Amino acid sequence: MNRLVVLSAVLILAIAARAENLPREFTITPNAITEPPAFLSKVVVPDATCAAVSDALSLLVVGRAGKDEKHLAVFHLDAEGRASAEPTWITLPKPETLAANFNYPLGLLFHPKLPLLYVWQDVNGPPAEKQGKHPEFANHLEFDHLAIYAIKDGALELLHTGTRGEGFYCGVGGGTVGLDFDAKHLFVPNATGDTPRTGSVGVFALDEDGLPTDAPDETPGKKPKAATLKARVGKDVNGKYNRLAALPKSRLINSYLPTGMGWFAAREALVMGGFSGCLVNDVHDGGARQAWFHIPGDLTGPCAIAGHPTAPALYICLQDHNHFYQIAQTDGYPSLLPQVATVTGAHMTGIPVVVAKQSCIAIGDTKSLHLLGLDANGALNGKDERLKLECGIAKGLAYSEKHGRLYVAVNKND
Amino acid sequence: MRFLFMKSKVIALCVALLAFGASPLIARTIIIKADALDSFAALSETNVRNGWATYNYDNTRYINSSSGGGPATSYLLRYSLDQIPKGMRITRAEWTIAHNVASTKVNVWRVLADWGIGACFQYRTTYPKQQEWSVAGARGKSTDRATNPTASGQFVNGQLLTVNVTQDVEMWYTGAAPNRGWLITFDGFALLHSPTHGGHRHKWQLTVTYEPE
């Protein structure tokens, strides 16, 4: 018995020491758990693709890819953060010409101060080489990727749709919208690049109501006067819709799709997930400057990012892979070298969600969810708990800071 | 017969144990590779806040396997020396700087100032608070970096440059000075192989020879 106690103590000490002295590159073997932790709340939304929670509005919205056209599930939260039993369903708009096509939400974002929900949606379409000006893409030119809902008395009311045309890809599997630090600009994903399959991002200047505005075109060869992240935004279409033009060539990312796989806004720069790393937009000499950050190692593939709300840490998840990265960042600038975690048996997918109060980061997997442990500085601590879930890939994740609650969409209750 | 067999096994075991015990008495040379880099930052005059070193400054944005250096862009690198066992004396240390296309003069400086998260041209750290270099770009002699370079050399196309860094490694290993890594500066344009990307990172090598004290 004594020997067992001593052995256990030695083992615990050894594990603790390992967590504190992790090498920069390490392997994690997940600890399978069957009972969800107390901070995790499941909501039933089959085939979830994304989620967002608003503490200010006490709302949880989960997006789903359902052929029954129930696209958004809206849950009201009580004072304890418990979701209502039955959601209200919202169908996303699409033009009549695409009535037979399958549209689906990819990203949801609440405005931090205004009662607005930004939704990025997509629709199945022809292959990338038959998009843009190709005749087969003609019906898709009126598809609005961006829908903005006002929240009035807890209900969603469609306020604005836009972002359409040959400047955006259709049928992309990832990408979401992001706001800059002051919520004055809205960034959108999956704009077209130089060639089929290469992409860029678009940016709207927002008015005081949080709606996209027309920004003045930049004069070629002249430096913008103000240090803002303005980009070219097209004229109103039909007096109702705004259409975002592709960015000037110098600002193209030229990365493979999808672009905008998660956004992290800091005081000086905005970081975006993308192909094989992340992209940093900062302001320099009055204009936006982009720096591409390739993930170390020789791996490639789409990457999703998330930033810690208080610790100097940025997280990158190589999609459908067992690699997960943590990089220090301050003011939006990644710094030094990343931690590289290889999680045994994992196929992590989706945009990670920082579960700040519980010091972990959640990331979906096939029929499961990983909770990767973090230390006080937001660095990975070498631990992972993997929870089995009734779902395809756990992508409907959202965290409430106010309630310290992680919401996870599942196909059905256990 | 069985006794003889047992005896020979015991002798073999003793010889093996003696050999194992005596091994630290012999000088050893180890190669500390790029995966032992624990910090890496770029100091660029043209991007004063952005210190991410694997952004390929001034090169095509598609290629991330090379890092561009020059008079306006230098690099900070720090290796972990944990692979060197305790109780040793460093007898020689050589650092191979893997460059791609370059024919400029390079200087290797021991860094004096503490640097960390957020290190860039303007700041030596930005977390938990912003601290500037005494001269931007870690150019302050005797404050940010040593008064004189540890080593200097000339990049020659097609050849790797190896410089003698024995004194620095010895100081860091013994604790005579904190290990704050090296600053490499260039007189002209220098395209380096990335120590974190591509198939050439193995060329970055810190070769250390040590023996028991």
Cβ-based contacts of A338 with chain B (< 8 Å):
none
Nearest to B196 among A268, A296, A312 (CB): A296
The structure's pTM equals 0.86
What per-residue confidence (pLDDT) applies to A244? Answer: 38
Beta-strand runs (E) in A93-208: 103-110, 116-123, 146-152, 155-162, 178-179, 185-192, 198-206
pLDDT tens column, B18-36:
555 555 568 999 999 988 9
C-alpha B81, offset from chain centre: 9
Place of tokens 């090598």: B205
Band the pLDDT of A11: cuts 50, 70, 90: very low
The strand pair at A48-54 and A59-64 is best described as: antiparallel
Which of A330, A342, A375, A377 has the most B C-beta neighbours within 10 Å, making it the best mutation to test the interface with B? Answer: A330
Write the pLDDT tens digit of every residue in A329-369.
999 988 998 899 999 999 999 999 999 999 999 999 999 99
Task: Look up tokens 């809205």; give the residue.
Answer: A186
Q: Closest residue of A to B198, CA-based?
A: A298
The single-letter code of the amino acid at B78 is: R
Locus of tokens 């609440």: A110
- Say what the pLDDT of residue B212 is: 95
**What sign does the dihedral B142-B147-B151-B157 (CA atoms) show?**
positive
- How many C-alpha atoms does A361 have within 13 Å on its Cβ side? 30
- The percentage of chain A sitting over the pLDDT mark of 90, rounded to a whole number, equals 61
What tens digit of pLDDT does each residue of B42-97 get?
Answer: 898 888 888 887 654 333 333 333 467 788 889 999 999 999 999 999 999 999 99
Hey, is B19 helix, strand or coil? Answer: helix
Q: Does A345 or B213 have the greater pLDDT score?
A: A345
Instruction: Name residue A303's beta-bridge partners.
Output: A318
User: What's the pLDDT band for A30 if we cut at 50, 70, 90?
Assistant: very high
Contact A315, A278 (CB under 8 A): no
Helical segments of chain B, H only: 2-22, 166-174
Q: What is the largest CA-CA distance in chain A?
A: 81
Chain A residues bordering chain B (beta-carbon distance below 8 Å): 24-25, 254, 268-269, 280, 282, 284, 289, 291-294, 296-298, 312, 328, 330-331, 333-337
The confidence score (pLDDT) of residue A214 equals 57
Residues 6 or more apart whose CB falls under 8 angstroms from that of B175 comprise: none
Taking residue A328's Cβ as centre, other Cβ atoms within 10 Å add up to: 25
The per-residue DSSP string of A29-74 comes to --EEESSPPTTEEEEE-TTEEEEEEETTTTEEEEEE--TTS--EEE
Please give the pLDDT value at position B201: 80
Q: Identify the weakest region by mean pLDDT among A28-42, A391-405, B186-200.
A: B186-200
And the tokens for A138?
A: 């003609």
CB contact under 8 A, A24 and B35: yes
Q: What token pair was written down for B187? A: 């007189």
SS3 category, A366: strand
Angle at A277 between CA A274 and CA A281, to 5 degrees: 70
Q: How far apart are CA B71 and CA B49, in angstroms?
A: 17
Cβ proximity of A337 and B75 under 8 Å: no
| Residue A207: both structure tokens together | 């008015």
Quote the pLDDT of residue A283: 63
Q: Which residues of chain B neighbour A296 with C-beta distances below 8 Å? A: 54, 196-197
Of A280, A292, A336, the CB nearest to B61: A292
**CA closest to B82 among chain A residues:** A23
pLDDT given at position A33: 97
pLDDT given for residue A304 in this prediction: 95
Q: What are phi and psi of A119, to 5 degrees?
A: -125, 130
Q: φ, ψ for residue B35 (rounded to 5)? A: -70, -10
